[in-house]
Structure 1
């Protein structure tokens, strides 16, 4: 791990108080027993790293859907979207991106549009990699509507370690593609519901980068990534 690259990456303001807390504990540990300082320092650097907010190069081609999160594509399946999203009862393709504690946790808008709907649902804190986490875990559901009326559902899901979902936007807010809309603390998952008939351009096990990795192309809805069967 290149420490210079970590230090050079800006930190999201949401992380400042946590880094300050860990830094204070590190000083206290040093006063108790000097060798403990290095343990505290390592945890403090990790905390800074967790809340990093790197600059991303956002694709601007019309119709693209980008990943809202860093992580691994853990699930792709056709399911009925959660009622919180208001997307109807017909099955839609859901792409799930699982974030571990080393991924960047700043969430970005998958498309440009208006935040049409936000619903926070209190629930459990199961392992976010499990399929049932979509229904049972604590979550925040957003529906983003593009200027042409196309709607994309995005669900921030708390995990086994994650205990706090942060959303920076409100209903009616306008978002550009790749704009920051939220953050989940310490490991979690995001579900993205694509419009009916739109094929994903990613596969399970692929690493996704928030704001950069293209999940689908609304202008070419049946296009698929080579190797993905329709």
Structure 2
């Protein structure tokens, strides 16, 4: 199913003009050869390193036809977070949820090299893909941890959060659609606000007038194959609804 890849990204399926493209900026926990983050390997299995479950959901959406293609980051967010501005500290994070990352204490040249290897190729190739196959809808797919280690007192009861910045065309439709599902706890700009953490969509969707929906699914709901299949089906149905309502 993988159509193309490089060190910064993977493309599953075949993008189609007018179709659905899933974008997952934090789909991988891969640390390339030659990079030593200097942290406990266990951390690489946790939310600080990867959006748990999103690669499985995205691949199932493509396999089932619920999405035409999925654009997935091919490097851990701890190596380079492509959903941050280049000059943001979090683009090459020195700490995440209270965990120090000594391998990212780089000088200016080392930091720029990291960005040149991963951040810039990711966005350059994504821009080319979008321009060549203008999607009808982009689904920006993330997952979130039920509790941050640094702020355990903050409850995160939502099953899914809908995130957006200025363009709320898709969220206005998605929120009531999700709200009709029995037992589903839906967050509007929860657990994060898309007005603060929305770099990839700001650059490739909002700046270009492309319709998109940002979602965060709670990671414990998509941590296994059963949950991934369930949410792939649900999000595929939501994408179909959004396309129908906005054409």
TM-score in terms of structure 1 length: 0.28
More helix by share: 2
Please tell me whether Structure 1 or Structure 2 has the larger radius of gyration of its CA atoms: 1
Larger % of strand: which? 1
